[in-house]
Structure 1
Amino acid sequence: MKNRPSIYYLFQKFIDGSINKPEYDQLIQYFGEELYDQQLEDLIRQKLSEEPSAIDEEAMAKTIASVDLIIRQQISVKINKKKRIRQLYPFLAAAAMLVFGICSFFYWNKLDLVDKQTVNPKINDILPGTNQATITLEDGTLYKLNDKISGITAQGDHIRYADGSSIIVKTPSSLLSLTTPRGGTYQITLPDGTKVWLNADSKLDFPVRFANNSRSVSLKGEAYFEVTADAARPFVVQSSGQKVTVLGTHFNINAYDDELAVKTTLLEGSVRIDSKSEKSFQSLILYPGQQSIVTSDAISMEKVDPDDYIDWKNGKFVFSDESIASIMRKVARWYDVDVVFEGIDQNEKFWGSVSRFENVIKVLENLELTGGINFEIKGRTIFVKKLKS
């Protein structure tokens, strides 16, 4: 059964201004259902307790103003008299509870938060991924990159950090590999000026110098590309089962070996996807807002919100009607953990949004808010379990 977006997910998007019209309508609907009164209050308390040091009058005013806007929007909705009577009272009760809860929270939050942190220490928490990567030469020589710097620049046979300091002054190799481990990410500017963001557990092979008539790289894992325009030299990305050809554009490729398909999502420009299987050769052209899906025997295209597929590059996890199996693969790569499912349908869909810079427990707590699931952390293994009724 398809779950509705969680209240937490929608309210967070409303607060930060990223909510769209269908999501806004769903949030309004939640505010009209008495069933969600307690959850509405709880999510506000959780939001305000995420970073105690940041709690101030400005944050309180912003949250209360947001709730007030929803109140006025709900009251202005044109509904028939009977429906209005049924919905308005529980809605106003929920809204009043929220505003009262926010204001009172600011009165006693410091003492309460100290108590909660003392009673419930997060001893099993796991830190998020960081800047981690290596550069490997053709002869196997490996350079571990500085985790205090987020990127490198390849200028011919000279490899530098983004701050200008040198890594390799003159490489004897014609082909280099940038590799991130589980729990790592890194950026690179290629010799032509193309920028690449490499996600966790990924590898980018690239030449020291591009050819005169083409620019070719290969990818395993996931990367976001901002390709420098060059009409005379197409930019080509080879990945599992496909070839992506562009002149200058922005796109994301997800080509992990443990995923069922290779997905290419386009943000700007256009790209051609070529896919060759044992049975056939297929190709299609992508335009902004479209995504190609390449499997072992087929290629297809669908319309998507591109922002949902570059969330990782922007420092977020965004789960939009996504299976728990897919979500936990992302969690496993970024936090370098193992995942064990116990008695839960791995195809069940969830919604959520949280910073990738939070410790893993915050990500899991947000998923639990959707209901029907809970997590247990033992060492570096996360157990995913069906919530007992």
Structure 2
Amino acid sequence: MAVGRGMREVTLDVVPLYWDEAQARLMLLDQRRLPHAEEWLACANAAEVARAIREMVVRGAPAIGIAAAYGVALEALALQHSDNWPAALQPAIDQLAASRPTAVNLFWALKLMGEALQRHARQADLPQRLLQLAEDIHQADIEASLSMGQLGAELIARHDRHPQRLMTHCNAGALATGGYGTALGVIRAAHAAGLVECVHVNETRPWLQGSRLTAWELLREDIPLQLNVDSAAAHLLKAGDISWVIVGADRIAANGDVANKIGTYALAVQAMHHGARFMVVAPTSTIDMQLDCGEDIPIEERDAEELLVLNGQPLTVPMPVCNPVFDVTPADLIDVLVTEKGIVERPDADSLAALMSRDRLH
């Protein structure tokens, strides 16, 4: 599918969401149904978008932010006219902000939409302006992913130009972004450059984003992969032939600490112990300079049913459950952070401050 309006047009093999111009609806690929069925969910207002985010129809920090931006635009289009646009749309913005607590791209996108709302509140075409901004946010994310993919692949090539074995966790691909991906964007670009022998895909319990989503994306593009249970990662890394662990991020604190899917912290420790390099790939919209360190990042805890029940069938007896969605990887375990503004080796507070002061690299 081709996307983009006003910027370069990009053809995407995997499209997680798009704006249906004819129906004035946001269309979301229902990621709960993958890989067995490709079903689309139409959202007509902010409440439906918030529910889709909360219920994991759409997931991944960049994609959540894009969907929320469209949600604000949908609400404005549904109202068509208001004597007080900020007051009319604030409940929708609040509802979207409450849908997921950890992914900072959600709040970043809503902040941009809120600023545009205040700036153009007296304009008769405010709904169309908000829609255009949502589309711009969507397109900018795709452009950022393409840039990060190229930068990450070049970095991999600088270390070794032979085909390599890589490992990734959760899904940081096209499905988690506007299309193309962060961690999988690097892997896509590396594969195109002949740098990938095999991608080890962690299954990523309990939602199995690795086995359901990442594997689905890689199989569609004939990128060689091997699926493994999460607890096999250390065993595979010990063999010494995995050169890079490549992951995305849901929020990055000002000192470089990274919140990502639960299990990422353990992978970073294992990678350092076994000599594999650890790469985090994320747009600068994921960096939260208002939070000093990872301890300040709110960690979402999801329902116990996700561990106790599978496809409606009990896996065990009722009991207390710990089900955090994310963990925090300290910056000193991260070899490199790849963003659309450039690469940061061994990220820390000073290097992230310098990064955020740059203009975009491309």
TM-score band by shorter chain is: under 0.3
With normalisation by structure 2, the TM-score equals 0.24
Q: Which has the higher contact order (CA 8 A, sep 6+)?
A: 2
Higher strand share: 1
With normalisation by structure 1, the TM-score equals 0.23
Higher helix share: 2
